[in-house]
Chains A and B, each alone.
Chain A
Amino acid sequence: MKTALALITALSLLGGTALAAEQQVNLYSARKENLIRPLLDRFSAETGIDVNLVTGKASALLKRLQVEGRNTPADLFLTVDAGRLHVAKQAGLLQPVESRILTEAVPTHLRDRDNQWFALSKRARIIVYSRERVRPEELSTYEDLTDPKWKGRICIRSSGNIYNQSLLASLVAHHGEAAAERWAAGVVANMARPPRGNDRAQVKAVATGECDIAVVNSYYLGNMQSSSDRSERDAAVKVAPFFPNQGDRGAHINISGAGITRHATNRDNARKLLEFMVGDEAQKWYAESNHEYPVKAGVEVSPIVRAWGYPFKEDQLDMGQLGIHNVTAVKIFDRVGWR
C-alpha cells in the first residue's frame, strides 16, 4: 500500500511538473495541425505562453474531454463546425467567458448566446458550376437544386460529412422537417452519381464533366485555385463559384470556433488565446492561409476570395440551430437514401 501510494505520488509529481509549467494553455483541436500550428506559434512568440496541442476528430476529442472530467488538462476545445460546439455546451463541458474583445469582434449570431463558444472563422457552402455547361443565371438557391432541370447533373459528397449535415440542419430550421426531407429527396433524385470523395473531388468532377454543378465549402475552391499542383489549378479554372440565396436569406455558412472548457486550469491563458484568434493578425491569417472568411468586421479577405465577390449575403441563422437540428438532419439523410 505504502509503495503504491509513493508510486502514485511520484507519478503525479512527474505528471504535475509537465503540466504546471508557468505559462501555458492546452488545446484540443479538430482543426488539423498544419492549419492551426503556425497561428499558435505566433501567439506563443507574442505572449510567451506555450500552447500544447492535440488534434483529432471533434467527436472523439469531445468524448475524451467528457471522460477526463474535472481533471482534464484541456483548457480550450476547438472545432470546425458549430454543431459540435453546441453539443459540447449541452454536455456541460464548456464555461462562459466574459470578454469585451470577444463580444465586440464576433457578431451575435456567430457566438453562443451564453458566451460559451465563439466563431473564429467562417466558410460558405457554395455552388460550384461548370463554366462550359452552366450559365450562372440558371442558378439561384439551394431550394432550386431539386428542380428537374438538374437531373443527373449534381455532385455532392456523402451525408456522413458534417457540412452537409449542417446545411440540411439550416433547411430544417428555416422550412421545417417535412420540407427539408422533400428537399433532400429531390437532391438525391438529381445526383449525377452516388456521393463519393470529399469537396475537392466534387470540384474536380465538375471540371472533368462528371457533373455540372457541385455543392462545396468555399475554401476548397480557394485552395485549389492557389494550389501548387497544376492539375488542381487546371480543374479550378474550369469552374466558377455561385453564392446561393442572395435574393432571400443568404448563403449558408458554417464556422470554426472554440470555447473554454468547464474545468480549465489555465483559464486566463485560454481567454487570451481566444482573444488573439479573433484579433486582426489571426483573422488575416485565416483569410490568407486557408481562404476562409474572417468573423471580425473590417479584416480583409484573400485576393482570390475577394474576386468571387465580397461581401455577399450570409444566412444570419443562429449557429446553435445547426447543432440543435443535426440529429434530425442525419435521420432525414438516412430516410431519403443519401449515403
Chain B
Amino acid sequence: MAAALAALVVMTPILTVLGYLFHPGTGTWQHLADTVLGDYIRNSLLLMAGVAFGAGSIGITTAWLTSMYRFPGRRLFIWALLLPLAFPAYILAYTYTGMLEPAGPVQEWIRTTFGLRYGEYWFPEIRSIGGAMVILSLVLYPYVYLLARAAFLEQSVCALEVSRSLGCGPWRSFFAVALPLARPAIVVGLSLALMETLADFGTVEYFGVSTFTTGIFRTWYGLYDEVAAAQLAALLMLFVFSLILLERWSRRQARYHHTTNRYQALPEIGLGRFSAWLATTACLLPVLFGFLLPVAQLGLWALRTWREMVDAGFYTLAANSFALAGIAAVIALLLALLLGYGRRLHPTPWLRALVRTAGMGYAIPGMVIAIGVLIPFGWLDNALDGWMRDHFGISTGLLFSGTIFILLFTYLVRFLTVSLNTVEAGLGKIRPSMDEAAWSMGHGKAATVRRIHLPLMRGSLLTALLIVFVDVLKELPATLVLRPFNFNTLAVRTYELASDERLADASSAALTIVLVGIIPVILLSVTIARSRPGHAEPA
C-alpha cells in the first residue's frame, strides 16, 4: 500500500507530461511532420545505436576481462574503469572540442608542423553525430561495466566449469554461458546508458545534432508551443517504455536465479604476454580517453584560472552539490527498496505497472521533468494558499515551489529508475526459495531481510547509492530552473561559464565535480570487491 502510494506521488510529474497527450493537437504537429520530425527521429535512433554499440562493447569487454583474467594493472582498472562516470557528458564534449576543433591545439600543431592549411588534411570533425556517439559512449559505458561486472562476479563458477567440461573454449563459454546469464544486468546497464542518451541535451545541442530532445526544446522555446513540446516528450517516454517491455517480453520465460550456492573465488586465468598486454590496452583506452586526458586538459586550464575562480563562494558551491547529491541518493535508495519489496511481496500486475511507470523519469530530459514538477506543485501551492486565505485570512505563499524540497523531489523522479533497477537486479538474484528456507527456520520477514537479503545485496545497494549520487552531482537543467534564490551548485557554475565557452574559467568547478565524484567510485569498488558471494569478509 505504502509502495503504491509512493509510486503514485513520484509519478505525478510523469503523468503531468503524459497528460498532454490528451490535449487537442496543435497546428505545430503538421509543421514538424512536414519539416524536421524525420530528422529528429533518425538522429536519435542513430545516436542510440551508436551508443549501444560503443558503451556496450566497451563495458562488457572490460567487465569480462577484469572479472576473469590476470593481466598487468588489473586491480587498478577494476575501479579506474568507473572513473568516466564522474564526467558530465557536456563537460567532456566541451573539453574535447577545445582540444580537437580546427582551432584547437591538436590541429594547430598539425598545421604548423606540416605546413598545411585548413582543408588540406583530413581530420575527423568532433562536433558531429559521430563525435556525440563517442563522447556519450565514453561517459556512459561505466553503467554497463558496473552492472555486467557485478553479474559476472555473482555468477556461480559452476556454470562456467560445466561449460568448460562440456568442451567450450573461453570464447564459447563467454558467448554461450556467461553473457546470456548476465543479460538482465547488462540490459539494465545498457538501458540506463540509452535513456541518458535520449535525455541528453547539452552534448547534442553543442554539436549541432538535432535529436528528439533538442526538438522538444526547440518546439517549446522557439515555436512557443508548450503542448506540442510536452507531447513530444510524452512520445519519447512511451517509446522508452515500449523498448523496456519488448526486452522483458523477449526473455519472458527465462529466470536467472542461480541454481547453486557453491561460490568460490573465480579462477583468474593467466594470459600469455601478448594477450595480457592486449587486455591492459583494452582497459586503458576507455580510462585514458574517458578520464585521464580530459582531466589533464581541465587541470591545465584550472592551473591558469583557479586563483580567480576558487573563492569562498566556491566552497559553498561544493557543499551544496555534495549535500544535495548525498540526501537525494539516500532517499532514492530508500524509496527503491520500498518499491522493490512492495513488488516482491505483492506481485500484482497493477503494482508492477505502477512501479514501472514511476521509474520512467530517467529517459525524460531534466528540463521536461522540471516542468512536470513545477506545474502540479505550483497548482498545489496556490490552491493551498487560496484555501487558507479564504478560511483563515492568511496567505501561505509558496510552500514547496522554489525550495530545496522540490529540487530533491525532482531528483527522485528523475533518478529513481537507477536505484530501482539496481535494487531489483539485486533482489532478483535472491531466490524465493531462500526466503522460504529462512522462514521455515523461524526467521520473521524482518530477520530475513536483515540476515539474508542485506548481506547479499550490499553491492547492489551501494551501486544504487553511488550512481544516484554522481548523477545528481552532474544534474543541470532541472537544478537550473527549480533551485531557490541565491543557491548554486558546481554543475550550475560549470555550465554558466562553459556554455559561454569560457572553458578555462569553468575548469575548476568541472574538475571538482569530477574529483568529488571519484570518492564514492573508489569506496564503491572496494565494497563490491568484498561483497561477492563466496568471498570471505575481511576482518
Chain A contacts to B: CB under 8 angstroms: 8-9, 11-12, 15-16, 19, 26, 32-34, 52-57, 59-61, 63-64, 67-73, 87, 158-160, 162, 165, 194-198, 200-201, 204-205, 207-210, 228-229, 231, 235, 326-327, 330-331, 334-335, 339
Contact = CB atoms under 8 A, between A and B. Distances in A.
B224 A327 contact: yes
A73 B207 CA distance: 36
B187 interface: no
B382 A70 contact: yes
Given A26-B485, A32-B500, A208-B102, A12 B399 contact: yes
Contact of B102 (A8, A53, A205): A205
Contacts of B485: 26, 52-54, 73
Interface stretch (B133-141, B258-266, B373-381): B373-381
Contacts of B487: 54
A331 B375 contact: no
20 contacts: A12-B394, A12-B396, A15-B397, A15-B399, A32-B500, A33-B493, A34-B497, A67-B375, A68-B402, A72-B398, A87-B224, A162-B221, A201-B501, A209-B102, A210-B118, A229-B504, A327-B222, A334-B31, A334-B35, A339-B36
B364 to A, nearest CB: 15
Interface secondary structure of B, over-half rule: helix
B31 A8 contact: no
B99 to A, nearest CB: 11
A323 to B, nearest CB: 9
B382 A71 contact: yes
A33 B496 contact: yes
B217 A160 contact: yes
Nearest to A193: B125
A11 B483 contact: no
Given A209-B102, A210-B119, 15 more contacts: A8-B399, A52-B485, A54-B486, A57-B481, A60-B480, A67-B378, A67-B401, A68-B378, A68-B401, A70-B382, A71-B382, A71-B385, A198-B499, A231-B103, A331-B35
B36 A334 contact: yes
B208 A194 contact: yes
A271 B130 CA distance: 50
Contacts of A57: 221, 367, 480-481
Contacts of A197: 97, 101, 127, 206, 208
Interface secondary structure of A, over-half rule: helix
Contacts of B105: 231
A183 B492 CA distance: 37
Nearest to B205: A160
A263 to B, nearest CB: 11
Given A160-B205, A207-B103, A330 B378 contact: no
Nearest to B36: A334
Nearest to B375: A67
B481 A64 contact: yes
A11 B36 contact: no
Interface string B475-487: 0010011111111
Contacts of B496: 32-34, 55
B223 interface: yes
Given A53-B485, A196-B208, A339-B208, A59 B220 contact: yes
B398 A235 contact: no
B384 interface: yes
Contact of A60 (B39, B367, B398): B367
Interface in B342-401: 367, 370-371, 374-375, 378-379, 381-382, 384-385, 388, 394-399, 401
